Structure 1
Amino acid sequence: MFGTGVGLVVALLAVTLLVVPVSLGVATRADAKVRRLSTSRASAPNMRGSVADVHERCDQWRQLATRAWLLCGGASLVAVAVVGVLICVG
């Protein structure tokens, strides 16, 4: 009854359901870090390190947040599509 195709689809669903919360956590953490760096840079100009260093770190965290949000959204879409396929098959 269940072929290897359905087993692979279920495995894909399991992986995407693991990726979604992990990427969501990374995205929210990176967004919080960007927000913290932005406000500390504006409120305390005498921070450790140069302004360029703080700006570079802020950009790196922003890029990480963007990638994590895109991964979370993509994995969510894949999970929805896989559930749709499983509903149609089953």
Structure 2
Amino acid sequence: MFGTGVALMVGLLVVALLVLPVSCGVAARADAKVRQLSKSPASHPDPVSPVAVAVADVDERCDQWRQLATRAWLICGGAALVAVVVVGALICVG
């Protein structure tokens, strides 16, 4: 029974350590995409310009990327927290 709990914690640690770099990469890429979209010339047009539809599309995509970045950063933080807690538990157990 004791060995099974340790094996389960090690498995959880491995999963957390695999999720951590992936979610950080996704979050960083989504943040870069948000910065790129917000600096695009279509995001700051003349208000009388007929490009209003394109601006709405860019703003919508920017919001979607921002939401993805937020979720990915939360997952990254959660995975880091799980990894720290599991390592602490393994240190206490071992």
The two structures have a TM-score, normalised by structure 1, of 0.90
Is 2:68 the counterpart of 1:64? Answer: yes
Indicate the SS of the match to 1:82: helix
Q: Name structure 2 gaps, 5 residues minimum.
A: none
Structure 2 equivalent of residue 3 of structure 1: 3
Identity %: 76
Structure 2 equivalent of residue 25 of structure 1: 25
Q: Deviations over 1:25-72 (max 9, x none)?
A: 000000000000001123xx387x611111000000000000000000
Higher CA-based Rg: 2
Number of equivalent positions: 87
Q: Name structure 1 gaps, 5 residues minimum.
A: none
Give, in angstroms, the shift of residue 3 of structure 1: 1.3
Superposed counterparts of 1:1-90, under 5 Å: 3-40=3-40, 41-42=43-44, 45=45, 50-90=54-94
The two structures have a TM-score, normalised by structure 2, of 0.86
